[in-house]
Amino acid sequence: MTSLTLPPDRQRFRLRVRGQLPPDWGDWFDGFSLAYTPDGATLLTSPPIDQAALHGALATIRDLGLYLEAVIPVTPDSPGSYPAKR
């Protein structure tokens, strides 16, 4: 599961939230990249972060009233992110 190239306490995560966030909303999530799925959700992909930063991102999702659909760790063999819509 974990990437061999990263320190064990740091990990990339992908967060799937319902609805399409405006592209400039990426700055709520420091360093995350933002992409859209064909079925109308937004994928937020983190840089390598520790657990505290992950919890911070989850709190931001909560505080913006976003609907969190999934959190998955990103491993080297994960499929690439969907292309941005715009």
Partner 1 sequence: MYERIRAPAAALDTILQAKLHIPTIPTGYVARPRLLAQLDGAHQARLSLITAPAGSGKTTLASSWARAQADTVAWLELDPADNDPVRFWSYLLHALHGPEPAGVAPLLSALRAPQPPPLEATLAALLNVLAARPAPLAIVLDDYHVIEAPAIHRVITWLIDRLPPQAHLLIVSRADPPLPLGRWRARGQLCELRVHDLRFTHEEAAAFLIGTMGLPLGMDAVAALDARVEGWAAGLQLAALAIRGSADPAARIAAFSGRHEYVLAYLVDDVLAGQLAYVQEFLLRTAILDRLSAPLCDAVLGVGNGDAAIPTSRFILDYLRESNLFLVPLDDEGGWFRYHHLFRDVLRHRLRQTDPPCVPELHRRAAGWYAAQGLLDAAIPHALAAGDHLGAVRWIEQAVDEALHGGNIAPLRGWLAALPAALVGARPRLAVGQLWLRFILGQNELIPSGIDALAESLAAEPDGDAVRSVEEQSWLRAELAALRAQRALHLGDLSETLAQCRAGLAVAPAGALRTRGALELLQGTAVRNAGDLAAAATHFHTARDLAEQGGGELLLLYVSNNLADLAELRGQLSVMATEHARMRRLSVDASGQPLPLAGMALIGMGKVARERNDLEAAAALLAEGIDLGRRSAISGIVIDGLLVLALVRVAQGNVAGARAHLDEATTLAERWHPATIGVRVAAFRARLALAAGRLKEAARWAVGASARVAAPSSELGEIEQLTLARVWLAQGRAAEALGLLARLAQAARRSARHGRLAEILALHALAQQAVGDGTSAAETLAEALALGQPEGYVRIFADEGVAMGRLVLCVAAQVSSGQARGLRADYLAVVQEACAEPHGLGTPRSSHDQLVEPLSAREQEVLALIAAGCSNQEIADRLIISVATVRKHVENIHGKLGVQSRTQAAARARELGLA
- Provide the binding-site residues for partner 1, judged by CB under 8 A: 17-22, 24-25, 27-28, 40, 42, 62-67
- Measured from the CB atom, is 26 or 48 closer to partner 1? 26
Q: How far is the CB of 25 from partner 1 (least distance, A)?
A: 6
- Measured from the CB atom, is 40 or 76 closer to partner 1? 40
- Strand 68-74 relative to strand 41-45, pairing: unpaired
Contacts with 66 (C-beta within 8 Å, 6 or more apart), sequence order:
17, 18, 19, 21
- Rg of the chain on CA atoms, in Å: 12
- Measured from the CB atom, is 21 or 49 closer to partner 1? 21
Six-digit token string for 33:
């990249």
